[in-house]
């Protein structure tokens, strides 16, 4: 009897503690949500500042170890690998993609593994940037970014790692004439064959027939339209992404209610929600190029795409390649992503499936082991100094900043 009373008392105390925690967390979620958002906390230095695009350098100065999502500690390797790693996010999202939370941060993980980590920040495009297109991003801005990385690191060769459109921009840049000095390329959920299945390819195929009729019987051309008239705000990007999983967008709030007592869960939920609710607009010129050249004409699957007056040809790419696709990615399934390996001239190329959907494959609970760790392991053996190359040096950064 006494044992039952003690168990009831303990259970009552636990319930009271959870109710108190839920009340405190609920108050913060309603009125002080900025205290729950943990993204973009890693310090960085700016090594390049352009009109829109900047380049960040992450070092983890003063940290001996970082905490991973499972609670384990990863020691920070102070001796750096010879080849810098440049992370390339897609357009339409903030740079918090790669620095979502302190224990779920790709920039922190790769820096701890011993890489000189740089991140291209595409900035927040507005209406005045509507005319920016593939040439501006894949040629001009990527060129400026990599030049600044080479100047800052003192190393001629770099590795690129891009998610979704970030992977495509990396490949398109690498395929341009004269763009050597890219030792390794890692792509994650980057669509190549728009007839390969999945939601993105399905939309492209659905548009293909009416687009062909419009081209045949009218003078209307999407590429001829004034991009400034096609500008859409960032909330349209958020809405479009959430419509790919409308049920999940609703049930996530039920998960919040049932776990409101758990501070870590509330912080994770708030951080992820803040990230998803603050997506950025796509410059209309980029959308025009991707809709016509990538989605309708499926030029990437043919191995080349025009970039202004230049042609990017994937057969020029000899970099070592590691290509990931998400096992449950309904937007860009494996059949859409793996085709790049048949188009490049690389001798060293690998394809891998990883758990998760389009976002989970790079940000999900299984990403650290299946994508981050595997990418780091793969890059380590391919980031050795070549005989006769100049040693890396670090030049003075323009400024130091954190969010």
For 205-245, write each residue's pLDDT tens digit: 666 666 666 766 676 667 767 777 777 877 777 777 666 65
pLDDT of 348: 97
Residue whose structure tokens are 């998400």: 326
The pLDDT confidence band at residue 400, using thresholds 50, 70 and 90, is: very low
pLDDT of 115: 97
Q: Work out the percent of the chain whose per-residue pLDDT is above 90.
A: 50
80-102 pLDDT, tens per residue? 999 999 999 999 988 888 999 88
Of the listed ranges 86-90, 133-137, 273-277, the least confidently predicted one is 273-277
Angle, alpha carbons 88-90-92 (nearest 5°)? 145
379 vs 39, higher pLDDT: 379
pLDDT of 394: 42
Environment class of 285 (CB within 10 Å of its CB; exposed 0-12, middle 13-18, buried 19+): buried
pLDDT at 182 exceeding the cut of 90 = yes
pLDDT of 310: 95
Cα–Cα dist 374/361, whole Å: 12
pLDDT of 27: 64
pLDDT of 213: 66
116 vs 238, higher pLDDT: 116
pLDDT of 261: 62
- In CATH terms, the fold of domain 37-232+281-385+396-401 is Rossmann fold (3.40.50)
pLDDT at 402 exceeding the cut of 50 = no
pLDDT of 164: 95
pLDDT of 181: 94
pLDDT at 70 exceeding the cut of 80 = yes
Residues 261-286, mean pLDDT to the nearest whole number = 76
Q: What interhelical angle do 234-243 and 263-277 show, nearest 10?
A: 120
pLDDT at 327 exceeding the cut of 90 = yes
The pLDDT confidence band at residue 398, using thresholds 50, 70 and 90, is: very low
Quote the distance between the C-alpha of residue 175 and its chain's center: 20
Residues 361-368, mean pLDDT to the nearest whole number = 89
The pLDDT confidence band at residue 40, using thresholds 50, 70 and 90, is: confident
pLDDT of 14: 58
pLDDT at 38 exceeding the cut of 80 = no
313-324 pLDDT, tens per residue? 999 999 999 999
Residues 13-33, mean pLDDT to the nearest whole number = 64
* Predicted structure pTM score: 0.86
Of the listed ranges 9-23, 188-202, 362-376, the least confidently predicted one is 9-23
Q: Which two tokens stand for residue 235?
A: 């909330």
- The domain segmentation of the chain, as residue ranges, is 37-232+281-385+396-401
Round to the nearest angstrom and report the end-to-end CA distance of the chain. 57
Residue 106, CA atoms < 13 Å, CB-side half-sphere: 28
CA distances in angstroms from 173 to 11, 16, 194, 306, listed in the order given = 60, 58, 20, 11
SS (H, E, C) the chain: CHHHHHHHHHHHHHHHHHHHHHHHHHHHHHHCHHHCCCCCCCCEEEEEECCCCEEEEECCCCCCEEECCCCCEEECCCCCCCCCEEEECCCCCCHHHHCCECCECHHHHHHHCCCCEEEEECCCCCHHHCCCCHHHHHHHHHHHHHHHHHHHHCCCCEEEEEECHHHHHHHHHHCCCCCCCEEEEEEECCCCCCCCCCHHHHHHHHHHHHHHHHHHHCCCCHHHCCHHHHCCCHHHHHHHHHHCCHHHHHHHHHHHHHCCCCHHHHHHHHHHHHHHHCCCCCCHHHHHHHHHHHHHCCCHHHCEEEECCEEEEHHHCCCEEEEEEECCCCCCCHHHHHHHHHCCCCCCEEEEEECCCCCHHHHCCCHHHHHHHHHHHHHHCCCCCCCCCCCCCCCCCCEEECC
pLDDT of 235: 72
pLDDT of 395: 42
Q: Which two tokens stand for residue 22?
A: 């839920």
The pLDDT confidence band at residue 352, using thresholds 50, 70 and 90, is: very high
Q: Work out the percent of the chain whose per-residue pLDDT is above 70.
A: 73
Cα–Cα dist 50/122, whole Å: 10
**Strands of the 117-121 sheet, one edge to the other:** 349-354, 320-326, 182-188, 158-163, 85-88, 117-121, 54-58, 44-49, 399-401
pLDDT at 260 exceeding the cut of 90 = no
Residues 318-339, mean pLDDT to the nearest whole number = 94
102 vs 266, higher pLDDT: 102
């Amino acid at each position: 009897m006494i044992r039952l009373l003690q168990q009831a008392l303990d259970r009552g105390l636990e319930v009271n503690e959870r109710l108190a925690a839920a009340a405190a967390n609920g108050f913060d979620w309603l009125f002080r949500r900025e205290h729950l958002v943990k993204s973009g906390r890693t310090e960085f230095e700016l090594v390049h500042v352009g009109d829109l695009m900047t380049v960040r350098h992450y070092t983890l100065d003063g940290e001996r170890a970082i905490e991973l999502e499972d609670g384990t500690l990863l020691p920070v390797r102070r001796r750096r690998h010879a080849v810098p790693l440049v992370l390339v996010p897609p357009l339409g999202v903030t740079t918090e993609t790669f620095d979502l939370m302190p224990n779920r941060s790709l920039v922190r993980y790769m820096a701890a593994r011993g890489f000189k980590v740089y991140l291209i920040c595409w900035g927040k495009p507005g209406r005045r940037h509507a005319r920016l297109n593939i040439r501006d991003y894949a040629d001009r801005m990527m060129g400026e970014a990599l030049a600044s990385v080479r100047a800052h690191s003192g190393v001629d060769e770099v590795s690129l790692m891009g998610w979704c459109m970030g992977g495509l921009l990396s490949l398109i840049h690498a395929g341009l004439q004269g763009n050597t000095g890219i030792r390794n390329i890692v792509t994650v959920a980057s669509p190549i064959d728009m007839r390969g299945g999945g939601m993105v390819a399905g939309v492209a195929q659905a548009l293909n027939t009416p687009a062909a009729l419009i081209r045949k019987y009218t003078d209307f051309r999407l590429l001829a339209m004034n991009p400034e008239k096609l500008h859409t705000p960032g909330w349209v990007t958020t809405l479009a992404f959430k419509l790919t999983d409308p049920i999940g967008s609703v049930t996530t709030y039920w998960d919040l209610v049932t776990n409101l007592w758990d501070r870590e869960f509330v912080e994770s939920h708030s951080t992820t929600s803040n990230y998803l609710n603050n997506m950025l607009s796509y410059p209309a010129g980029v959308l025009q190029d991707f809709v016509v050249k990538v989605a309708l004409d499926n030029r990437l699957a043919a191995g080349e795409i025009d970039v202004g007056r230049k042609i990017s040809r994937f057969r020029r790419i000899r970099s070592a390649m590691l290509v990931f696709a998400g096992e449950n990615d309904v937007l860009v399934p494996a059949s859409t992503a793996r085709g790049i390996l048949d188009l490049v001239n690389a001798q060293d190329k690998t394809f891998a499936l990883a758990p998760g959907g389009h976002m989970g494959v790079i940000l999900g609970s299984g990403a650290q082991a299946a994508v981050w760790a595997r990418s780091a392991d793969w890059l380590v053996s391919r980031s050795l100094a070549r005989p006769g190359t100049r040693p890396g040096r670090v030049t003075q950064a323009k400024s130091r900043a954190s969010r």
